[in-house]
Structure 1
Amino acid sequence: MHKVAVFVIFSVTLLTSQVNCQEAILHISNGGTQQEFCILYNQSWTPLPESLNAAIPYSLVNMTSTVLCDSSGVSPEVVKGKALVVMRGDCPFSQKALVAQALGATTLLIASNTTLVSPSANGSEYLKVQIPLALMRYRDLMEAQRVFGDGMQARLFAPRSSKIDASIGVMLLISIATVALGGYWSGASESERFSSGEGGGNGESKVDSADLPLYSPLKVFILVGLMCGMLILMYYFYNILVYVIIAIFCVASSSALFSCIDALLEKLGCAHGRFTILKTTFSVRALILASMCISISVVWGVYRNEDRWIWILQDLLGVVFCLNFIRTISLSSFKICVILLSLLLVYDVFFVFITPFFTKDGVSIMVQVALGPGASGEKTQGNIVEVPAEPQTPSETLPVVMRVPRFSAWAQNLCHMQFSVLGYGDIIVPGLLVAYCSRFDVWINSTRKVYFLSSCIAYLLGMLTTFTVMLLSGMGQPALLYLVPFTLITAATVAGCKGQMKQFWAGTSYEQVLESSQEPLLPEARTDYPIEAEPC
């Protein structure tokens, strides 16, 4: 079951990125009380100041009893020099704006009970309208009316959202730390197997019962083929399979969390505290730890759609899932690494860039599966932004990404949370190569860990390149497009410079001894047996 869970989660990983929006802030105050609400505007139509201090306060007049398609029934004295709120409907936004402008209003807010869209018009209408125009939720107006009553002061402003957000740094730290820790853990496990005698004196490493070795090119092709099939099934049967993936993730992540914490406690020398019931021995530490891990997964499963804080728990479970995956899956040789990473690079690029030419809505299969139908709460078509006007049932999304809120997206987060997103696959796939390099350092008894450190640095440079291209292009990037070449070329270069390409390429199949002209792989291999003795 654990192996199936690992495969299914791994099969639907990806990278996505931020979306630039046209949200702004409506600041309402009355004496010492103040509150902010989400509004949508059009940058090319009604430029707004970038800070609250630069925004001019106006008295807010609630006239949602009219749609203001004409000036009948509206007294200029009532709205002159004030911010006016009317209902959406019956006529274009530009017509409402021109009527409000003729009446002397300084700002027009259009309240909506339906999906908010950033106002649009043709070029000639842009030139005619001289007052700010924005859309707001009708429920927000009712909330402001309840809190402030009459005499509300309104200020509109649109804080600039920087492309370079602190969330990118957090994402970079999470990814490099996870890859480095996963690779180190894999190498440490390999070293322990040698030290405990599970590895033969000739350098052969036996497979741990928890390991899933990949030592056959055929297995790699089958694995990638199954991943393609899984992604296509998710695309066509998303509404059903998403709950299967969520359930599997809860099981796999709780198991991974248990493995990570248990390994840490074992390293610290924490006692088990065993007891026996009906001739069955139980570990107190294991029972407490299992209960805690299961509880954490259950909490995530119950509150998985609470965007404001659940991302912390999802990232925690994602990190331990990736760590355990990198430790568990063992690539036996650099040849297998090249085949697997190359195939997954093609897989990533094909399902991100090529599939939009075949889908009816022009959206890539991978992005559609990752975000789910309407999962982001926002749709963008050119300069048009849509935001739900009323609370909606959250769309289920696959738990296969790290999510960090965009700290600089103040206005956007009022409307809906904005996240920087990184797929688990962009951590796991290069992490498998880093783990192989770490194990190879053990096999050749490298004290400086040259292969491991160089592959970690290559991963860091690949991630920096990915984020740089994403920021310059303004588009999400398939990170494997940069990570795979960086890590593979770096590893091959190190092996070539050290004259160990033959050994590095062949690796170990877990069935045969690593053929090498080096001295015995570990010091234990030279000292455990007398010179004339034949090792077992």
Structure 2
Amino acid sequence: MAAALLREGRPTGALLWGLLLLLPLVSAQEGVLHAVLNDDPRFTRDYCIYYNRNWTSLPSTLNNITYTTLDILTPKLLCSQSEVIYDITDKAVVVMRGNCTFLEKAEIAQRLGAKILLIASETELTIPYGNKSQSLTIPVALIRNEDIIDLKQTLWNFGENVNVTLYSPPVPIFDFSMVILFAIAVFCVTLGGYWSGMAELEKLKALSASGTHDSSNDEENVTLTPLTVVLFVVICCVTLVLMYFFYKWLVYFVIAIFCVASAMSLYNCLSALIRKIPYGRCKFPCFNKFLEVRLLFLAAFCIAFAVVWAVFRNENQWAWILQDILGIAFCVNFIKTLKMPNFKSCVILLGLLLVYDVFFVFITPYLTESGESIMVEVAAGPFESSEKNDGNLVEASSERSASHEKLPVVMKVPRLAFSTAALCFLPFSLLGFGDIVVPGLLIAYCHRFDVQTSSSSVYFIFCTIAYAAGMLITFVSLILMKKGQPALLYLVPCTLITSALVAWYRKEMKKFWEGSSYQVMDPMDFAANEGTSTRANEQRVGQ
């Protein structure tokens, strides 16, 4: 959700952005091409490849492995048998990407007797997808064309017998990047929920001081009613399907929205801190208003920060740091700004999004040609290695085109223990914004309810702990199942059940469910409660 839309109180803009927060973790399928010159272990080279685990099962080590003689056919495309004028039987052949699908190239290579097909790509490496026939048995993998050029220069030109093999080193069961993602997620929901509660406290104190009941001027927040929640989920479904069919155009629109929303969010977060500093409050007149110079410089900094990320977003070595900083600011500001009016709305929102997440991750693979879920394909880019054209799968041209863009709605941390990281440009562990902000809205409601009822943050603390536990369960499931998980499947039950149990134990379920005290509590009653609480604390201190 763009922060500008939030500040203007436009729930429609919030709904349009909501889908993009619900994308799951998607794991790449990387391996290694190991090349040896004349069977001499002193002359070897390793290169990154991408392959489809559903098509090919590669060994995990080089022990007792079979090598195949390499034959480089580039710049041939191998879209017809007539392109090959000599025998390639029992060889590993390299052809260029383009003009026909990966599977068509593989079927031709297999008919000609090849043992391995390597497809050289001048664009970003992606996982090959398609409906593989049972008759296709040879391994198929993508490799960078620049790596083939390097192989020619370092090995091919120094001997005729270059042998190659493919293998996929095992990914460690645990990677420290999960700890970093866990810390980021818990930090965002904790800070966003705490900030939301403190903003509610300040508002109630202001209403108490003025003696009025009117809080309708709260323009910096958007409140989701049950009807709006249902509309939110419907729009999520429609937008996800549109992203699935028109990804290559809409992705740039999403990137532009993310730049605006994250810059505004970063400004809101940092300005809240700067305003606490009692120095540098120099102002100047502008259109009948007075603007602080320091806030003007802050706005310029936040815009520049987002622009730098947009320009260098595909620099995998360091751009992920900028994206995570912008993402943290976005999630914290989102949780603080979007208000759930009661627990009933929270149950409807989280319940429907849980069904939405499970359906688009686990059910839609049975409905798509590629066998991948719509959610995963949108998160990774539809069909990764191909484009849609009139409903048919057509591989992208071998001509260099726009780089394969990813939706910037995830936290990214490099896999620190992955053995092929240096070859494959640092594969990332990913966590979608939705796995942070959706439960974060419930945590924020819990803290606001604590403020309204002077509950000493009991709801906020227990719900935050439940979120942390749910995130741990998500990571354990990810490790055990070795595939991307819809985190809401674990986070929603943990947070909803815990919150309900706390309300039931405290005999406040009706009040917590309907949010009546939150909505209509008299400011004077709030002031009286605050005074009673203060006197009670003073008596305890005196004792």
TM-score over 0.5 (shorter chain)? yes
Distance in 2 between residues matched to 1:94 and 1:290, nearest whole Å: 62
1:2 to 2:5 alignment: yes
Residue in 1 that maps onto 2:488:
480
In structure 2, what residue type is equivalent to 1:294? I
Query: 1:76-98, CA deviations, whole angstroms, 9 ceiling, x for partnerless residues?
Result: xxxxxxxx98656975499556x
In structure 2, what residue type is equivalent to 1:494? V
C-alpha deviation, 1:266, in angstroms: 1.7
Query: 1:395-438, CA deviations, whole angstroms, 9 ceiling, x for partnerless residues?
Result: 22322222222223332662455222221111111000100111
> Which residue, out of 351, 358, 368, partners 1:349?
358
In structure 2, what residue type is equivalent to 1:226? I
Distance in 1 between residues matched to 2:526 and 2:281, nearest whole Å: 41
C-alpha deviation, 1:204, in angstroms: 8.6
1:168 to 2:178 alignment: yes
CA contact (8 A) 1:14 1:370 kept: no
> Which residue, out of 275, 296, 302, partners 1:293?
302
The equivalences for 1:250-269 within 5 A come to: 250-269=259-278
C-alpha deviation, 1:178, in angstroms: 0.5
C-alpha deviation, 1:298, in angstroms: 1.4
1:242 to 2:251 alignment: yes
CA contact (8 A) 1:454 1:490 kept: yes
In structure 2, what residue type is equivalent to 1:488? L
C-alpha deviation, 1:163, in angstroms: 3.2
> Which residue, out of 278, 281, 294, partners 1:272?
281
Query: 1:141-183, CA deviations, whole angstroms, 9 ceiling, x for partnerless residues?
Result: 4224446773899997754311322222111111111111100
C-alpha deviation, 1:219, in angstroms: 2.5
Distance in 1 between residues matched to 2:89 and 2:363, nearest whole Å: 50
- Alignment length, in residue pairs? 483
Residue in 1 that maps onto 2:336:
327
> Which residue, out of 133, 143, 149, partners 2:150?
143
C-alpha deviation, 1:185, in angstroms: 0.7
Change (3 A) 1:411 1:441: same
CA contact (8 A) 1:257 1:320 kept: yes
C-alpha deviation, 1:259, in angstroms: 0.1
Residue in 1 that maps onto 2:100:
none
The equivalences for 1:87-98 within 5 A come to: 87=94, 92=110, 95=113
Change (3 A) 1:259 1:87: closer
1:468 to 2:471 alignment: no
> Which residue, out of 48, 69, 93, partners 2:61?
48
1:434 to 2:443 alignment: yes
In structure 1, what residue type is equivalent to 2:499? A
SS for the counterpart of 2:20 is: coil
Change (3 A) 1:377 1:14: farther
Change (3 A) 1:273 1:190: same
TM-score, normalised with respect to structure 2: 0.74
Residue in 2 that maps onto 1:81:
none
CA contact (8 A) 1:198 1:205 kept: no
CA contact (8 A) 2:221 2:337 kept: yes
CA contact (8 A) 2:127 2:385 kept: no
Query: 1:463-514, CA deviations, whole angstroms, 9 ceiling, x for partnerless residues?
Result: 1111212222223221111111110110111112122223222224775227
1:414 to 2:423 alignment: yes
Distance in 1 between residues matched to 2:485 and 2:246, nearest whole Å: 25
Distance in 1 between residues matched to 2:88 and 2:267, nearest whole Å: 63
In structure 2, what residue type is equivalent to 1:49? L
Distance in 2 between residues matched to 1:365 and 1:70, nearest whole Å: 39
C-alpha deviation, 1:320, in angstroms: 0.9
Distance in 2 between residues matched to 1:361 and 1:403, nearest whole Å: 26
Identity of aligned residues (%): 39
Change (3 A) 1:94 1:487: farther
In structure 1, what residue type is equivalent to 2:5? H
CA contact (8 A) 2:35 2:46 kept: yes
C-alpha deviation, 1:390, in angstroms: 9.3
C-alpha deviation, 1:246, in angstroms: 1.8
In structure 1, runs of 5+ residues without a counterpart are 72-83, 98-108, 127-131, 379-385, 528-536
Residue in 1 that maps onto 2:88:
69
Residue in 2 that maps onto 1:180:
190
In structure 1, what residue type is equivalent to 2:149? M
> Which residue, out of 223, 234, 239, partners 1:213?
223
Change (3 A) 1:519 1:497: farther
1:24 to 2:37 alignment: no
Task: Tell me which structure has the larger Cα radius of gyration.
Answer: 1
Change (3 A) 1:136 1:500: closer
CA contact (8 A) 2:28 2:427 kept: no
Change (3 A) 1:150 1:134: farther
CA contact (8 A) 1:253 1:321 kept: yes
Moved more, 279-288 or 195-204: 195-204
In structure 1, what residue type is equivalent to 2:332? L
Residue in 1 that maps onto 2:373:
364
In structure 2, runs of 5+ residues without a counterpart are 7-11, 74-84, 96-104, 388-394, 536-543
Distance in 1 between residues matched to 2:49 and 2:469, nearest whole Å: 39
Residue in 2 that maps onto 1:106:
none
Distance in 1 between residues matched to 2:44 and 2:297, nearest whole Å: 47
Query: 1:237-290, CA deviations, whole angstroms, 9 ceiling, x for partnerless residues?
Result: 333332222222111111111000001112344433212357542211111011
CA RMSD for the aligned pairs?
A: 4.4
Change (3 A) 1:158 1:228: closer
CA contact (8 A) 1:406 1:420 kept: yes
Change (3 A) 1:122 1:334: closer
CA contact (8 A) 2:92 2:118 kept: yes
Distance in 2 between residues matched to 1:520 and 1:412, nearest whole Å: 60
C-alpha deviation, 1:134, in angstroms: 9.0
Residue in 1 that maps onto 2:403:
394
The equivalences for 1:375-394 within 5 A come to: 375=384, 393-394=402-403
Change (3 A) 1:266 1:47: closer
SS for the counterpart of 1:37 is: strand
Residue in 2 that maps onto 1:381:
none
Distance in 1 between residues matched to 2:168 and 2:377, nearest whole Å: 30
Distance in 1 between residues matched to 2:333 and 2:509, nearest whole Å: 28
